[in-house]
């Protein structure tokens, strides 16, 4: 298998510990990838504001995908103007980034959620109903990080006090042409976007930039499935509680880690580096 590695990774429960949000256990694997100059693309349900902070902590300066494929943020100058023009998507400028927006504006998602909740008397809440203090309590984030998590643009995390009503809400979501996907901690209400579509766009851009690619994908939840379908080497990170992820169709070549969180992330990376190096040896 020949080509440059490009890695797409989920954050919570994958590169980051699901409870502490630490990536310490993955640090040695990250250092190996940096030495090999492998692009690591964060592909998350988190907001742009959250993802920027995490990327800086890890030391990444690559594009990233936010809010379940709601948008792709590309550092200015990362791809050429011609490469971006040929992507087939409108590119706008936001601060230091060139952005491909794929999701609906957050206000439209909130309008749908609030009106549907009222009409059918549903006990469902989203981040838009919460103060940062409550988001911090629900997620285990610090208050500063919770404020960043509240800065939604394309995705509404939500939860149900009465799970028996999820099916009705899901039906109304489908009728409205929206999506309801399950993440590691919450359901997520989005437009027609998903992680897979965003990954597909970036893979095409990277092919123009780097040539032949080997794409890796790492995730731990149902909302990662569209991403895992788009990569050559998919990896499913084990859950801390041992519960299996109900993927609809599991690729034959998927690597399932024994360890959870960032330790499992490092396990998958080390496995792939070893396997691909062995295949490349004479």
C-alpha closest to that of 193 among 153, 149, 243:
153
C-alpha closest to that of 239 among 189, 167, 182:
182
CA-CA distance, 17 to 115, in Å (whole number)?
A: 35
Q: How far is CA 199 from CA 100, 101, 176, 253, 270, in A?
A: 12, 13, 25, 19, 22
DSSP assignments along 142-185, one per residue:
-HHHHHHHT--SS-EEEEESSGGGHHHHHHHHHHTT-EEEE-SS
Residue that the structure tokens 């971006």 belong to: 84
Phi, psi angle pair for 131, to nearest 5°: -80, 160
CA-CA distance, 252 to 239, in Å (whole number)?
A: 20
Whether 129 is catalytic is no
Residue that the structure tokens 């859950």 belong to: 239
- Helix (H), strand (E) counts: the chain: 10, 13
Residue that the structure tokens 């109900």 belong to: 246
Please pick, among 10, 17, 155, 224, the residue that the annotation labels catalytic. 10
- Alpha helices by DSSP H, the chain: 27-35, 48-58, 81-85, 106-120, 132-139, 143-149, 166-175, 195-210, 225-229, 261-280
Q: What is the set of active-site residues? A: 10
């Amino acid at each position: 298998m020949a080509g440059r590695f490009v890695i797409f990774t989920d954050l919570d429960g994958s590169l980051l510990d699901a409870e502490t949000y630490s990536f310490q256990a993955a640090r040695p694997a990250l250092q190996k990838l940096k030495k090999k100059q492998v692009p690591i693309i964060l592909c998350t349900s988190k907001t742009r504001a959250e993802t920027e902070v995490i990327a800086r902590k890890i030391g990444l300066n690559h594009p990233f995908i936010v809010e379940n494929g709601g948008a792709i943020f590309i550092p200015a100058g990362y791809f050429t103007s011609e490469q971006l023009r040929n992507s087939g998507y409108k590119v706008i400028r936001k601060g230091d980034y060139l952005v491909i927006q794929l999701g609906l504006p957050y206000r439209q998602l909130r309008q749908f959620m609030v009106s549907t909740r009222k009409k059918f008397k549903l006990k469902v809440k989203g981040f838009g109903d919460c103060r940062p203090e409550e988001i911090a309590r629900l997620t285990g984030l610090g208050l500063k990080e919770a404020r960043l998590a509240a800065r939604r643009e394309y995705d509404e995390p939500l939860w149900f006090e009465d799970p028996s009503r999820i099916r009705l809400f899901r039906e109304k979501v489908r009728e409205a042409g929206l999506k309801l996907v399950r993440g590691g901690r919450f359901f997520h209400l989005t437009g027609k976007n998903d992680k897979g579509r965003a990954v597909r766009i970036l893979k095409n851009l990277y092919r123009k930039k780097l040539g032949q690619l080997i794409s890796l994908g790492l995730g731990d939840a149902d909302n990662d499935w569209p991403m895992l379908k788009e990569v050559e080497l998919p990896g499913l990170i084990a859950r801390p509680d041992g519960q299996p992820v109900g993927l609809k169709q599991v690729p034959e070549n998927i690597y399932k880690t024994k360890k959870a969180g960032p330790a499992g992330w490092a396990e998958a990376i080390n496995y792939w580096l070893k396997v691909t190096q062995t295949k490349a040896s004479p």
